[in-house]
């Protein structure tokens, strides 16, 4: 299948007339007719009922037209991106962020980065449960913001952003919120929410198990927004990274004897294969004064 066949068929579907479609396509009618016949042979069925002024698309023709229209929209987008890159114009950078990384301080960072680089646009994505930094190497994302992986890819440039503690999360009106430091045994008195997407989940549970503090989750979820809303409304408590608390009414408190931290990083392709813009974003992020 060739791209000219796609445009020929779209013109034919629009006019339902081979002569008019050929004129729109800038080719002779016999050339357009042959191209459509080759397309029908390749797709295994007729695309148009040929009946003079009463010509009409077949069922397959309608389905193919819808898909070809999407192809043309995608091609137009590709051309726009290509022209922008060639002119050094507006460029979109796709950045994936791990769901457990809170947005609280990134808004200010991206605002400052965009001020320095007015020709770019940041498009943020949620890093899915089956994705990691290999998506940067595949080209799906220009960068990933996530907790540091145990075995990072050698072809990646991984820059530290900040470290953060894991702490208790509870409602501002919760009894535990009145304490500056919470005792581990006090946690057992309240329902506990298990954050399934937490990368140190096993370490958290193991810490309390080794101290004969068996945490029994009453609620489990891989949705950070659900977990935090559940906790902020006072229905339960949780353990979460201190910078991830974003729900209104949710507060954090350190836990006595509980020392667990993580490092949040930004990962890009190393070397000159990374775009100039994403390398600049990574440099700005590494130098940024995270509160």
Return the pLDDT at 34: 93
Residue 122 reports pLDDT greater than 70: yes
Pair type for strands 156-171 and 261-269: antiparallel
Return the pLDDT at 88: 52
Measured CA distances, 217 to 184, 229, 236, 241, 252 (Å)? 15, 16, 9, 18, 19
Residue 119 reports pLDDT greater than 90: no
- pLDDT tens, 59-99? 999 998 988 888 888 887 777 666 665 555 557 889 999 98
The fraction of the chain above a pLDDT of 90, given in percent, is: 47
Return the pLDDT at 85: 57
| DSSP one-letter string for the chain | --HHHHHHHHHHHHH--HHHHHHHHTS-HHHHHHHHHHHHHHHTS-SEE--GGG-EE-HHHHHHHHHHHHHHHHHHHHHHHHHHHHHT--EEEEEEE-TTS-STTHHHHHHHHHHH-TTEEEEEEEPPTT--THHHHHTS-SEEEEEPPSS--TTEEEEEEEEEEEEEEEETTSGGGG-SSB-GGGGGGS-EEEETT-TTHHHHHHHHHTTT----EEEEES-HHHHHHHHHTTS-BEEEEGGG--STTEEEE-BTT---EEEEEEEEE-GGGS-HHHHHHHHHHHHS---
Return the pLDDT at 55: 83
Rounded Cα gap, residues 227 and 194, in angstroms: 8
Return the pLDDT at 228: 94
User: Is there a contact between 156 and 256 (Cβ–Cβ < 8 Å)?
Assistant: no
Residue 277 reports pLDDT greater than 80: yes
Residue 101 reports pLDDT greater than 70: yes
Return the pLDDT at 23: 93
Tell me the mean pLDDT in the region 27-46. Answer: 92
191: closest CA among 170, 173, 218, 167? 218
Residue 247 reports pLDDT greater than 60: yes
Name 94's bridge partners.
123
Rounded Cα gap, residues 96 and 174, in angstroms: 34
Structure tokens at 236: 């339960």
Return the pLDDT at 286: 92
- State the sign of the Cα–Cα–Cα–Cα dihedral 153, 156, 159, 161: negative
User: Is there a contact between 171 and 251 (Cβ–Cβ < 8 Å)?
Assistant: yes
Residue 250 reports pLDDT greater than 90: yes
Return the pLDDT at 32: 92
Tell me the mean pLDDT in the region 253-275. Answer: 89
Q: List all residues 6 or more positions away from 265 whose beta carbon is below 8 Å from its beta carbon.
A: 145, 146, 147, 148, 158, 159, 160, 161
Tell me the mean pLDDT in the region 13-20. Answer: 91
Q: pLDDT band at 121, cuts 50/70/90?
A: confident
Tell me the mean pLDDT in the region 98-122. Answer: 88
Computed over every residue of the chain, the mean pLDDT equals 88
- pLDDT tens, 162-191? 999 999 999 999 999 999 999 988 988 899
Return the pLDDT at 217: 83
The fraction of the chain above a pLDDT of 70, given in percent, is: 96
């Amino acid at each position: 299948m060739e791209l000219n066949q796609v445009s020929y068929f779209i013109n034919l579907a629009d006019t339902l007339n081979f002569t008019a479609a050929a004129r729109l396509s800038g080719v002779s009618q016999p050339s357009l007719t042959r191209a459509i016949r080759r397309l029908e042979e390749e797709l295994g069925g007729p695309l148009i009922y040929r009946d003079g002024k009463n010509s009409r698309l077949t069922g397959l023709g309608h389905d193919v037209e819808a898909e070809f229209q999407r192809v043309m929209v995608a091609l137009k987008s590709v051309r726009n991106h290509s022209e922008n890159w060639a002119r050094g114009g507006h460029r979109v950078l796709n950045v994936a962020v791990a769901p457990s990384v809170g947005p609280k301080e990134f808004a200010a960072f991206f605002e400052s980065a965009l001020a320095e680089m007015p020709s770019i646009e940041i498009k943020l994505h949620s890093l899915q449960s089956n994705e990691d930094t290999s998506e940067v190497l595949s080209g799906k994302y220009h960068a990933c913001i996530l907790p540091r992986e145990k075995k990072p890819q050698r072809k990646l440039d991984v820059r530290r952003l900040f470290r953060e503690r894991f702490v208790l999360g509870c409602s501002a009106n919760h009894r535990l919120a009145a304490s500056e430091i919470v005792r581990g045994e006090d946690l057992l008195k309240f329902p506990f929410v298990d954050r399934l997407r937490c990368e140190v989940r096993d370490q958290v549970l193991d810490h309390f198990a080794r101290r004969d503090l068996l945490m029994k989750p009453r609620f489990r979820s891989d949705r950070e927004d659900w977990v935090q809303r559940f906790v902020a409304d006072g229905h339960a408590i949780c353990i979460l990274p201190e910078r991830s608390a974003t729900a209104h009414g949710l507060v954090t408190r350190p836990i006595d004897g509980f020392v667990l931290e993580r490092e949040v990083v930004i990962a890009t392709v190393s070397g000159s294969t990374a775009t100039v813009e994403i390398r600049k974003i990574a440099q700005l992020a590494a130098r940024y004064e995270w509160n």
